[in-house]
Amino acid sequence: MNDLLPLWIVLAVLLFVGLVTLGTVSVRRRGRRDVVEPPPAPSAPPVAVDDGAVAPEAVEAPPEVEEPEAAEAAPAIERPEPVGGRLVRLRERLARSGSPLGARLLSVLSRDHLSEDDWDELEETLLLADVGAGPAGELIDALRTKVRVLGVRDAASVRDLLRTELVALVDPTLDRSLATTPRTGEDGSTVPAVVLVVGVNGTGKTTTVGKLARVLVAEDRSVVLGAADTFRAAAADQLETWGSRVGVPTVRSDRDGADPAAVAFDAVRRGRTEGADVVLVDTAGRLQNKQGLMDELGKIRRVITKEAPLAEVLLVLDATTGQNGLNQARVFGEVAGVTGIVLTKLDGTARGGIVVAVQRELGVPVKLVGLGEGPDDLAPFDPEQFVDGLLGD
């Protein structure tokens, strides 16, 4: 038995070591499983990690969260400012711009004895304000006669006299109303009033069409826009944005350089189908050469009149371009059959005389004026308000 004792001791030691080793492995295994296999995550909302990545679950946002967001994103339809109040603003803006025209005319006319030099100075002032040689000469003649006959001297009388003569020059007798009343077709359907808007690029045509849509919406008219400026890709987007702000649809082509006449035709047809009151058609009107312009506008006119007669052709002119604007007016007047003028950017010039010059040049009235880049900065033109603005308070 004693011979076997060392063997028993060895076996006992081995058994002990074996048991200790097993225990250690089991503890390590349990510890490692705690790291690799965490308890299932609770169904909490996904969280973006610090490096900017988003947990995969974040992509699948629950629908009940998305719905209110989509509803918030829907653009609200704007209610444009009433047109009546804008006339006051026209006067205020012109007066605030401190137009040198009225102030300079008044300061010369108020001198004690008007010499030939004074009359020359008055004429020069009118020419610098783009009134044009013919109308400036007429005004000087009328003022000379009245000053001599009436002996006008005090400041208030001089102002009254100048006001009367300037209003006469701008001509309050011209019909400045916009033809935007729909007709009834032979079949009893509504035939919209079609307004074609032409002019050189950059004068503010697209902006004017957008603002005019707002004027009409403010007067409770239903409107369709036609984006026939297919030359400048962004013009249709620009027009669509103007329209969508006041809930007015825009007919456009998805293809750059599409036939403008085809777009104009589609717009007028849609206007007829929907029984709209007015269809406003924006054009590119590139002035490369007279023949090209005549061909393009001629085709647009022809296709439109297959669906509805043209109620107005509005020529958009930039008031800040002076003589250059007049040259453009001449060409468009010859090829487009213009019925009214929209003078934009009147807020950016002290040379209001262009109103007189362009009316004389084309023999058609200024019907609307642009007073700024704001959405409701388009006002119907009124000679008396305009002259009061020029003369200041």
Ligand X SMILES: Nc1nc2c(ncn2[C@@H]2O[C@H](COP(=O)(O)OP(=O)(O)OP(=O)(O)O)[C@@H](O)[C@H]2O)c(=O)[nH]1
- Kindly state the smallest distance separating residue 115's Cβ from ligand X, in Å: 39
Residue 93 assigned as binding residue: no
Residue 171 assigned as binding residue: no
The partner residues of 318 in beta bridges, in order of sequence, read 344
Distance, CA of 275 to CA of 189 (rounded, Å): 7
Stretch that binds ligand X, among 1-9, 60-68, 294-302, 342-350 (CB under 6 A): 342-350
Residue 137 assigned as binding residue: no
- Kindly state the smallest distance separating residue 206's Cβ from ligand X, in Å: 3
| Structural element, H or E, at residue 183 | strand 183-184
Q: Taking CB under 6 A as the rule, which mask of x and - marks residues 253-292 in contact with ligand X?
A: -------------------------------x--------
Q: Taking CB under 6 A as the rule, which mask of x and - marks residues 347-386 in contact with ligand X?
A: xx---------------------xxxx---x---------
Contact residue for ligand X among 125, 180, 203, 250 (CB under 6 A)? 203
Stretch that binds ligand X, among 17-25, 68-76, 98-106, 195-203 (CB under 6 A): 195-203
Nearer to ligand X among residue 175 and residue 373 (C-beta):
373
Binding residues for ligand X, how many (CB under 6 A)? 21
Residue 335: C-alpha distances to residues 70, 199, 262, 290, 295 (Å): 48, 11, 20, 8, 9
Stretch that binds ligand X, among 176-184, 220-228, 258-266, 345-353 (CB under 6 A): 345-353
Contact residue for ligand X among 125, 180, 207, 349 (CB under 6 A)? 207
> What letter does residue 348 receive in the DSSP assignment?
G
Token pair recorded at residue 381: 């033109």
- Kindly state the smallest distance separating residue 389's Cβ from ligand X, in Å: 15
Asked if 141 touches ligand X (CB under 6 A), the answer is no
Which of 361, 357, 182 is CA-nearest to residue 278? 182
Count other C-beta atoms under 10 Å from residue 9's C-beta: 10
Distance of CA 353 to the CA centre of its chain: 25
Residues numbered 212 to 241 that lie near ligand X (CB under 6 A) are 229, 232, 235
> What letter does residue 139 receive in the DSSP assignment?
H
Which of 270, 283, 284, 282 is CA-nearest to residue 222? 270
DSSP for 8-32 reads HHHHHHHHHHHHHHHHHHHHHHHHH
Q: How many CA atoms lie within 13 A of 161 on its CB side?
A: 24
Nearer to ligand X among residue 310 and residue 319 (C-beta):
319
Nearer to ligand X among residue 229 and residue 312 (C-beta):
229
Residue 298 assigned as binding residue: no
Which of 136, 65, 1, 81 is CA-nearest to residue 374? 81
Residue 126: C-alpha distances to residues 82, 135, 140, 353 (Å): 34, 9, 9, 7
Query: Is the Cβ–Cβ distance between 386 and 352 less than 8 Å?
Result: yes
Contact residue for ligand X among 86, 89, 91, 205 (CB under 6 A)? 205
- Kindly state the smallest distance separating residue 318's Cβ from ligand X, in Å: 8
Stretch that binds ligand X, among 39-47, 106-114, 197-205, 327-335 (CB under 6 A): 197-205
Point out the annotated binding site for GTP.
199-206, 282-286, 344-347
Residues in contact with ligand X by CB under 6 A are: 199, 201-207, 229, 232, 235, 284, 344-345, 347-348, 370-373, 377
